[in-house]
Amino acid sequence: MTARRPSLAVVGATGAIGGVMLQILSQHADVWGEVKLIASPRSAGRKLVVRGEESEVLELTEDAFDDVDVALFLVPDAVSAQWAPIAAAKGTVVIDDSAAFRLDPDVPLVVPEINPHAARIRPRGIVASPNCTTLSLIVAVGALHAEFGVRELVVSSYQAVSGAGRDGVAALREQLSMVAGTELGTQPGDVRRALGDTDGSPFAAPVALNVVPWAGTEAGEGWSSEELAIREECRKVLDLPSLRVAATCVYVPVVATHSMSVHARFENEIAVDRAHEILATAPGVVLYDSPGAGDFPTPSDVVGTDPTWVGRVRRSLDDPRGLELFVCGDNLRKGAALNVAQIAESVAAEFPRV
């Protein structure tokens, strides 16, 4: 018996996540039959390479989902909200990387290392993949939770500009080219004045020579949408509706790979040696933790790799149930395209053998 190779559509193939997805499809074991590339009318007719062959980008239309078994949605929230139900109504299983369905109770939110079983129950025909900040920390926290029982997370992020898509990367590159080699960064507001109108920048303040403590939109009572997303998504994936989470999300001038400083508090007292053992053997995690020897994860070393890297693991000085750690994960790989690809490959395995 051989497996029927299901057909695949990549919706948003021309975007930041779409580009990484095309690389992953060329690198992973090939479980797919036909692969269609789809984007907006702006990109229709463009040629992109996937699995070593050129393929023409199609415009997103209802007909584009004819004979498509699985569709990966790597598009803005509004596009997913409109088109994922249309694809699902045609019998296509949708794996959605946007925020449109993540908190829908009828849509599973899946991290294959933590809750793979959830991907099989999909009343709306849609499976959601978490936000890149959630994904950059949850694989490590989930492994510790399985033994110690997590009760609270206090998280500060150092987020890469590609978290804001192609426009984020373009804004950082443009701003860096304007400030490089200048004396800027020594007087209040001088960087902002030199950059003038940061037209097209998705950031609320200059991101070159700066850090920006605001990601997403206003979500009420001073919180940003990105901060609340970490809270709600960690609760849903870990199935811990009362998990206490306080996140502060900050953009930094890094192209790709989100970093996070995490204070995790557990139900049980922490043996730090055991925490090291768990992290050293957890699927999808690399423990890199000899700070005296300069061994700790940084975005410039982690970028382009698949796992969540963890370092600076130490027991909280004033709380025997607390653990401090520093995590780095490539927001375009595990934080987005890789997690979507892993979910899709598990769905592909459901297709009948013929």
Residues binding ligand NAP (CB under 6 A): 12, 14-18, 39-40, 42-43, 60, 74-77, 79, 97-98, 131-132, 162-163, 165-166, 331-332, 335-336
Tokens of 107: 């849509």
Identify whether 249 is a catalytic site residue: no
**Residue whose beta carbon is closest to ligand NAP:** 15
Judged by beta carbon, residue 39 or residue 139, the one nearer ligand NAP is 39
Catalytic pick from 145, 234, 249, 258?
258
Q: How far is the CB of 168 from ligand NAP (least distance, A)?
A: 7
Closest CA relative to residue 39, chosen from 85, 99, 92, 83 = 83
d(CA 220, CA 223) in angstroms, rounded, equals 6
Identify whether 132 is a catalytic site residue: yes
Catalytic pick from 28, 132, 249, 276?
132
d(CA 273, CA 280) in angstroms, rounded, equals 10
Q: What's the distance, CA 174 to chain centroid?
A: 24
Q: How far is the CB of 227 from ligand NAP (least distance, A)?
A: 15
Buried-state track 206-217, b at ≥16 Cβ within 10 A, e below 16: bbbbbebebbbe
d(CA 333, CA 163) in angstroms, rounded, equals 11
Q: How far is the CB of 109 from ligand NAP (least distance, A)?
A: 12
Q: What string of H, E and C letters represents the secondary structure of 193-211?
A: HHHCCCCCCCCCCCCCCCC
Q: Are 131 and 233 in contact (CB under 8 A)?
A: yes
Closest CA relative to residue 148, chosen from 12, 323, 351 = 323
d(CA 333, CA 135) in angstroms, rounded, equals 10
Judged by beta carbon, residue 26 or residue 61, the one nearer ligand NAP is 61
Judged by beta carbon, residue 8 or residue 184, the one nearer ligand NAP is 8
Judged by beta carbon, residue 108 or residue 163, the one nearer ligand NAP is 163
Q: How far is the CB of 215 from ligand NAP (least distance, A)?
A: 11
Q: How far is the CB of 86 from ligand NAP (least distance, A)?
A: 12
Judged by beta carbon, residue 7 or residue 98, the one nearer ligand NAP is 98
Give the residue numbers marked as catalytic: 132, 258
